[in-house]
Structure 1
Amino acid sequence: MNKIGVFYGSTTGTTEDVARRIAAKLDVPSTHIFDAAKLTEAMVGEYDVLVLGSSTWGSGELQDDWYDGVKVLKKCDLSHKFVALFGCGDSDSYSDTFCDAIGILYEDLKDTRCKFCGATDTGNYSFDSSIAVVDGKFIGLPIDELNEDNKTDDRISTWVEQLKQEIS
């Protein structure tokens, strides 16, 4: 069985809340949920699956805690690890950069030889543009707690079931 670690960058608490909800559905204990600001190479080494989450800020920027976190991840051997990405964004006010943080994490990690999992169909989302869309799908799970919070639980449940199949 794969050991899963959940790492999030959250300024307002929304992404942390989503991270905890995803972890609960994956049966990941709270002791395996971490703020990205505390990420170390040793922590990364403990897990087979890294679930990474970030909110999108400003005009499509990564949440601040991830800038150092990405540097740590790039130093690690991720060639035998699954990486699942999720992010929070605002599809109404920022529909042209919706959940871009997912795309930034993907771009930063795509050359690490990790295996990305958890791509999500764009059809159930309303947005204009996102760098998180790769080959016609979101490279991870986008969440909009501001405008579509009524869809979050279903989106998480569906995504977690998909992840379980992809990492088994």
Structure 2
Amino acid sequence: MKIGIFFGTETGTTRLIAKKLYKLLGDELADKPLNVNRIEAADLLKYDALILGTPSYGVGEIPGLSAGCLERNWEEFLARFGAPDLSGKRIAMFGLGAQERYSERFASSMMALYQVFAGLGADMIGAWPAEGYTFEHSASLVGDHFVGLVIDQRTQGMLTEQRLREWVEQVKPQLLQKLHHAA
């Protein structure tokens, strides 16, 4: 079994980050990233170790048509997903945000998605320090850490590769541990 990587995207940036994570993990450890608007619940549920990515939309809403997305996104996937028991699954999340343009709600959609999966019993990992970001408020912040990796391609694109490498080093052992237990 491998690590499953799933993302919702609007402009393609979340897809780009998912592909970079896949490349860092390698195809021995991870399956190719899949867009949640092209999968069924069973496609995600077959994995015990997951990386989920989301853009930020609205005021900390789960991205989807009702939040103003042009394509189906996490909102529509979750409507079909139902409420399966995710106990035994380990999930790391990444979210995109624009700290200058949306300083008052920076990367807040990640928290909405995080709460859904945590509420279904998943073991949520991958908290990321808020140090180095400049914003007024983020719903995705707990103490001095975001609930997952935050990427700001617009204003801090030069830091993306380093942040991805550091985050993968942090979450990889915890995700692999899940794969070895499942094997």
Q: TM-score, normalised by structure 1?
A: 0.91
Q: 1:82: which partner in 2?
A: 90
Displacement of 1:125: 1.3
Q: Does 1:25 align with 2:33?
A: no
Q: Tell which structure's C-alpha radius of gyration is larger.
A: 2
Displacement of 1:151: 0.2
Q: 2:123: which partner in 1?
A: 115
Contact 1:41–1:75 under 8 Å retained in 2: no
C-alpha change, 1:19 and 1:93, in structure 2 (3 Å) is same
Q: 2:108: which partner in 1?
A: 100
Q: Does 1:69 align with 2:77?
A: yes
Name the SS of the counterpart of 1:142 in structure 2: strand
For structure 1, which segment, 136-145 or 29-38, has the greater mean C-alpha deviation from structure 2 after superposition?
A: 29-38
Q: 1:39: which partner in 2?
A: 39
Q: Which runs of 5+ in 2 are unaligned?
A: 65-72, 178-183
Amino acid at match of 1:56: S
Contact 1:39–1:72 under 8 Å retained in 2: no
Aligned equivalents of 1:107 and 1:8: distance in 2? 16
Aligned equivalents of 1:93 and 1:33: distance in 2? 28
Residue identity over aligned pairs, in percent, reads 31
Aligned equivalents of 2:130 and 2:27: distance in 1? 27
C-alpha change, 1:97 and 1:22, in structure 2 (3 Å) is same
Aligned equivalents of 1:83 and 1:11: distance in 2? 22
Contact 2:4–2:31 under 8 Å retained in 1: no
Count of residues in Structure 1 that have an aligned counterpart in Structure 2: 167
Q: 1:124: which partner in 2?
A: 132
Name the SS of the counterpart of 1:52 in structure 2: strand
Aligned equivalents of 1:134 and 1:74: distance in 2? 27
For structure 1, which segment, 135-144 or 69-78, has the greater mean C-alpha deviation from structure 2 after superposition?
A: 69-78
Aligned equivalents of 1:28 and 1:74: distance in 2? 29
| Root-mean-square deviation over aligned CA pairs | 1.8
For structure 1, which segment, 145-154 or 135-144, has the greater mean C-alpha deviation from structure 2 after superposition?
A: 135-144
**Which is richer in strand?**
1
Aligned equivalents of 1:3 and 1:73: distance in 2? 21
Q: 1:137-152 to 2 correspondence within 5 Å?
A: 137-152=145-160
Aligned equivalents of 2:141 and 2:82: distance in 1? 22
